[in-house]
Structure 1
Amino acid sequence: MAMIYSRYRALAIVTCIGMLLVLIAGALVTNTDSGRGCGTDWPLCNGKFIPAYTVESLIEYSHRLISGAVGLLVLATFVATLVWYRKEKEPIVYASGAGLFTVLQALLGAAAVIWPTSAGVLALHFGISILAFMFTLLLVLWTGRLKSGKGLDRPPVVVPKSVYVFSLSILVYTYFVIYLGAFIRHTDSSGGCIGWPLCNGEFVPDLQGATRYVFIHRIAGVVLFILIAWFAVHVKRVCRQHPELRTAAVAAFVLVCCQVLSGALLTETLRNEDWYIFTSILHNMIVSALFGLMSDLMIRAWKWRERQVKA
């Protein structure tokens, strides 16, 4: 049994890392404007199995190869879950969710190549990728609890309903902020606000064109920071006998602080193409981790509250 667990956890971790690489590769495609590197062909690249040597085609085709390999890992994880943990509801849900959103991600990516589409749909492609990563991360966190035995059973003290409602609200709002950020990237609006924390040297700039989208995204980010800070204080106050939830809330606050700082760094590197690619990827990685952590925290609060109510 220990060997099965070790193999399953290793597979879950590799799949999660692979999904993170898919996010990074997708961000690289967007930030280098390589989305048309393979023309309108899919799954081939400009009609060839091995594309011509151009930077754009290599970046786009590498993204496809990574996505395909990770798709196989997701399938392997799903099969392994059915074979080894079919009696456990959580891993089945997580593995199924990862599979569903991986397929949706691939289909939407293919459609975007074959039929050039709007920035809103391209932003949704990133949003679906975030959900696929979230489910693989949830599976990794579940395997960690399986080993320690913590967080799998009903706690002796109920988790207040407010924690679940608050965390769910923040999770939905975070997804909106993520989508808005992806929309800005796909409309090439990142330069709408120069400077940080002021926008074009003004507290409230002239909200025209790209500036409007970027400024709204900044305000949304500030609200998210305030919400998570408030949430961390709330969890610390009402969950005194749930150290794992308190730790997760603090970790979420640390991540949102890092996200704000990475956003400032992103703004400062707008005019340096090489550094901008790196800071943009960093920004995506942090918000992906934040979304996954908040999802896990929300599920813990819901599960423990729900089980206690049923009891």
Structure 2
Amino acid sequence: MNRYLKFYAILTSLGMLIVLLMGAIVTTTGSGEGCGNSWPLCYGEVLPSQPKVETMIEYSHRIVSAALGLMVVILAIWSWMKFKQIREVKWLAFLSVFFIVFQGLLGAAAVIWGQSSFVLALHFGFSLISFASVVLLAVVIFENGNDRATLKINKNFKLNIYLLFIYLYTLVYTGALVRHTKASLACSGWPLCNGQLLPPTTELEVIHYIHRFMAGLLFIWILLSFIQIRTYYKNMKILYNSFLLLLILVSLQVTTGALIIFTKLNLFIGLMHGLFVSLLFATLSYLVMVALRKD
């Protein structure tokens, strides 16, 4: 029975990642209005007749998101029934369902009434929480209630993990805001912004510059944390391997961020950028969960 649940948890996690990437495609291609202001129908039709490319992109995103929403609900109920004695399962099941429903309603509101760039950025942030909740739920299911990983580290380094998580989540919103305000190319060149070292002055340049600056700080923060782990916690495999993965992912994120500018919004590079930040967030979420556990 648990074997089927584990397989289903993996399938749902991969599906949630696909939904995130499809959402990035909708934003990057400007297909958010591909079905007009009609929801859940597309231009008032169940199946859009003579659809344009942007219509197919938006509508397929809706279909897959709805299917995954149902899968997440099933996973939450199934895992709750199987592991209701584990407190984490209850919270993760609730968070995964709540945020996938909430971000779906937020997306529907954006289609029907329109939303500001800031609210649209929240949509991606909530999607990340739902994705991470599903991934962590899968991790707990694989633990099967036994051999639960914990971190025996001092309070200061645990605090470092928590603050890093909050900082990354804030950074995610700045990145989503860059996309939704179409500020991705506001700064030409990299690492300088339009050849300037000092902060720019126009609104789009400021939005882009803040995200770029915060991303650089994230890389330095993770690098310094990894160096500290190599010095004091090298034998703690969960912590060491997790931060090694974080360092690799943040390096790839920074690299793809620069390539987005050099390639002038190449779709594949943009998707890879979204993929790496999603995996980065899920990995750090796992560390937070493990750090919160009692020894």
State the SS of the aligned residue for 1:189.
coil
Q: State yes or no: 1:196 paired with 2:193.
A: no
- In 2, Cα distance between equivalents of 1:203 and 1:153: 44
2:159 match: 165
CA RMSD between the two structures:
1.6
Percent identity of equivalent pairs: 36
Q: State yes or no: 1:209 paired with 2:199.
A: no
- In 2, Cα distance between equivalents of 1:200 and 1:166: 34
Contact 1:163 1:235 (8 Å CA) reproduced: no
State the SS of the aligned residue for 2:200.
coil
* Poorly superposed stretches of 4+, deviation over 6 Å: none
Aligned amino acid, residue 80 of structure 1: W
- In 1, Cα distance between equivalents of 2:154 and 2:230: 12
Equivalent of 1:139, from 120, 137, 140? 137
Equivalent of 1:242, from 236, 241, 246? 236
1:100 match: 98
Equivalent of 2:89, from 61, 82, 91? 91
TM-score between the two structures when normalised by the length of structure 1: 0.90
Report deviation, 1:239. 2.7
Instruction: Give runs of aligned pairs for residues 257-296 of structure 1, distance below 5 A.
Output: 257-270=251-264, 276-296=266-286
Instruction: Give runs of aligned pairs for residues 40-119 of structure 1, distance below 5 A.
Output: 40-52=37-49, 53-119=51-117
- In 2, Cα distance between equivalents of 1:58 and 1:154: 45
2:11 match: 14
- In 2, Cα distance between equivalents of 1:146 and 1:194: 50
Contact 1:31 1:277 (8 Å CA) reproduced: yes
Contact 1:262 1:279 (8 Å CA) reproduced: yes
- In 2, Cα distance between equivalents of 1:126 and 1:256: 18
Report deviation, 1:300. 1.1
Report deviation, 1:264. 1.1
Contact 1:163 1:301 (8 Å CA) reproduced: no
Where do 5+ consecutive residues of structure 2 fail to align? none
- In 2, Cα distance between equivalents of 1:206 and 1:120: 21
Report deviation, 1:198. 2.0
CA distance 1:234–1:25, shift in 2 (3 Å): same
Q: Which one is further off, 54-63 or 233-242?
A: 233-242
Aligned amino acid, residue 239 of structure 1: Y
Contact 1:255 1:290 (8 Å CA) reproduced: yes
- In 2, Cα distance between equivalents of 1:259 and 1:115: 33
Contact 2:150 2:290 (8 Å CA) reproduced: no
TM-score between the two structures when normalised by the length of structure 2: 0.95
Aligned amino acid, residue 280 of structure 1: G
State the SS of the aligned residue for 1:192.
coil
* Deviation string, structure 1 residues 21-64 (Cα, Å, up to 9, x no partner): 11111111111111111111110000000013111111111110
Where do 5+ consecutive residues of structure 1 fail to align? none
Report deviation, 1:209. 2.7
- In 2, Cα distance between equivalents of 1:235 and 1:139: 26
Count of residues in correspondence between the two structures:
294
- In 1, Cα distance between equivalents of 2:138 and 2:127: 17
- In 2, Cα distance between equivalents of 1:199 and 1:293: 30
- In 2, Cα distance between equivalents of 1:277 and 1:240: 38
1:27 match: 24
* Deviation string, structure 1 residues 69-104 (Cα, Å, up to 9, x no partner): 000100110111122111122222222211111011
- In 2, Cα distance between equivalents of 1:169 and 1:243: 21
